Amino acid sequence: MAATKNRALESYSLHMGRLVERHLADAALLAAKQEAEREAAEAKQAKREIEVATEALKYEMAVRQQVQSRLAYMAGHDALTALPNRRLFNEVLEEETQKALRRGRKIALLYIDLDHFKDVNDTMGHAVGDRLLQQFSARIVGVLRAGDTLARIGGDEFALLQLDPEDAADAGELADRLIAALAQPFDGEIRPIFIAASIGITMFPDDAGTVELLHRNADLAMYRAKNDGRGRSHFFDESLNKEVHRRALLEQALREPALITQLQIVYQPQFELSSGRVSGVEALLRWEHPEHGVIAPDEFIIVAERSGLILDIGTWVLRETCRQAARWREAGIQHLTMSVNVSTMQFRTGNLPQLVAEILAETGLPGSWLELEITETGIMQDMHVAAEMLMALHAQGVGLAIDDFGTGYSSLSYLRKVPVDRLKIDKSFIKDVTVSEDAAVVAATIVQLARSLRLKVVAEGVETQTQAEFVHQTGCEFVQGYYFAKPMQAREIPDLLRNSREMETTYE
């Protein structure tokens, strides 16, 4: 019995041991399975996170590449017109000049500058000016061939690279096509805008062998086109280099202390057509240099304005002319208007009314004896400031005239906003009134406009009887020019006044 009981206990213990072992094995297996599943889940999550991170990195890299591309584009292009800027254009120009040298070909560089663009900004606003630049660049692009490069290198200045022109004439024909295309009106929203462009042309390698010299040559040629009348093109030639050298010499001479002893003022009489009497004189500056000889005003005034020396010269002229007018007045001469030209730079300084007041007080000359001639450009640069300055001058009794009227950008509305007394018809119109119907119409229209605004008119540059008769028929009140009297020394004016009598004409 005992042995049987022991065997039963041993069998039971063995069975229970196996059960425990099986349970432990199952538990271990379950734990291993759960660990494997957890590790698999973690691996899957890690993979997902890696995939997300990879996509985020790819996106970030793509965005960064886009930003870098955009920055690179912006660094080389003009934001307003989307054209290449000066930096990118120079890179292209450098590369193309090297190619042209290897291949024995030519390149033409054209500088294109809008004429009187600042007047558009001043009178119509910068938003209109920006749209005009966009239209302007688009119209130029429409004329170009594939391979030509247009860039905006300044505010209203563009550079054009023409590849492989057959010769200079080919570049000239391109300039002519551009001028013709730009002659059509632009959309100014309120009204059409007519604006021309001046173009300078230089050839590589004929005119220069470096990019720097090409730019300089094209710039010189472009300014020559402007000086020749604007709305045209001009090729670079060596004479322009000589002009630059001469301008440098003149600027140096203008800075010399002895300048004042070389300058003199002459006076061109102005006549009233209805009576034939001398109504006033225009002061004209002359310069005779001991080495360079007689230097034309059109030449040295430009140099003086570009160098800023016109301010000192203009002050000297204003003081001397007022002194002379005061001497005439003290000598018993009745009222005689002294007309003095004011440069745009003088007008822009803002202290002109104060300067005039000081000189009038210093010389004892009444303001009514003085008339200042100001160009349209000077007035249009800042209408608000110009109106205030002109009002201040007018309050001193000083007469005000618009010089060279009709040659600049005329919005005409400004004439109602400023206290102007007279308009001076530019001599270029008077010269052609007998041979050009357009010039005659312009001159007559200016007189009619002045009358409607109750302004007086002076016709400049009257040199023939036919011209004198024409301006009289238009209703022009005052004239000056060689037909009536040449510029005179101050000492000759009293004799002219004493001897003057009604002109033997039918100007009644």
Q: Is the pLDDT of residue 189 over 80?
A: no
Q: What is the pLDDT of residue 175?
A: 92
- Token pair recorded at residue 246: 């001469």
Q: What is the pLDDT of residue 16?
A: 74
Residues 231, 345 share a domain: no
Q: What is the pLDDT of residue 212?
A: 92
Q: What is the pLDDT of residue 205?
A: 92
Q: Are the CB atoms for 229 and 248 separated by under 8 Å?
A: no
Residue 59 lies in a domain: no
Q: What is the pLDDT of residue 379?
A: 78
DSSP 349: T
Residues 366, 333 share a domain: yes
| Confidence label for 370 from pLDDT (cuts 50, 70 and 90) | very high
**203 or 75: whose pLDDT is higher?**
203
Among 203, 236, 269, residue at a domain's last position:
236
| Confidence label for 502 from pLDDT (cuts 50, 70 and 90) | very low
Q: What is the pLDDT of residue 505?
A: 43
Q: Are the CB atoms for 386 and 418 separated by under 8 Å?
A: yes
Q: What is the pLDDT of residues 456-474, one digit of tens each?
A: 999 999 999 999 999 899 9
| Confidence label for 483 from pLDDT (cuts 50, 70 and 90) | very high
- Token pair recorded at residue 95: 């590369």
Q: What is the pLDDT of residue 313?
A: 93
Q: What is the pLDDT of residue 116?
A: 81
- Determine what percent of the chain is predicted with pLDDT higher than 70: 92
Q: What is the pLDDT of residues 25-75, one digit of tens each?
A: 777 777 888 888 888 888 888 888 888 877 777 777 776 776 666 666 667
Q: Which residues of 249-273 are buried (b: 16+ CB within 10 A; e: fewer)?
A: ebbebbeeeebeebbebbbbbbbbb
- Closest C-alpha to 446, from 469, 474, 467: 474
**How many CB atoms neighbour CB 320 within 10 A?**
20
| Confidence label for 95 from pLDDT (cuts 50, 70 and 90) | very high
Residues 205, 92 share a domain: yes
| Confidence label for 504 from pLDDT (cuts 50, 70 and 90) | very low
Residues 352, 423 share a domain: yes
| Confidence label for 407 from pLDDT (cuts 50, 70 and 90) | low
Q: Is the pLDDT of residue 14 over 80?
A: no
CA distance 35 to 15: 30
Mean pLDDT over each residue of the chain, to the nearest integer:
85
C-alpha triplet 287, 290, 294: angle, nearest 5°: 35
- Closest C-alpha to 198, from 223, 218, 177, 180: 223
Q: What CATH number is given to the structural domain containing 408?
A: 3.20.20.450
Q: What CATH number is given to the structural domain containing 209?
A: 3.30.70.270
- Determine what percent of the chain is predicted with pLDDT higher than 90: 39
Residues 364, 296 share a domain: yes
Residues 255, 231 share a domain: no
Q: What is the pLDDT of residues 292-351, one digit of tens each?
A: 888 888 888 888 888 888 999 999 999 999 999 999 999 999 889 999 999 888 888 768
Q: What is the pLDDT of residues 241-258, one digit of tens each?
A: 777 777 788 888 888 888
Q: Is the pLDDT of residue 377 over 60?
A: yes
**What residue spans of 204-293 are helical by DSSP H?**
211-227, 238-254, 259-262
Residue 500, classed as helix, strand or coil, is coil
The residue segments making up the domain with residue 284 are 247-499
Residues 226, 260 share a domain: no
CA distance 372 to 338: 8
Q: What are the CA-CA distances from residue 65 to residues 54, 71, 148, 340 (Å)?
A: 16, 10, 29, 63
Q: What is the pLDDT of residues 1-12, one digit of tens each?
A: 666 767 777 777
The owner of tokens 């013709």 is: 180
Residues 428, 333 share a domain: yes
Identity of the residue numbered 466:
T
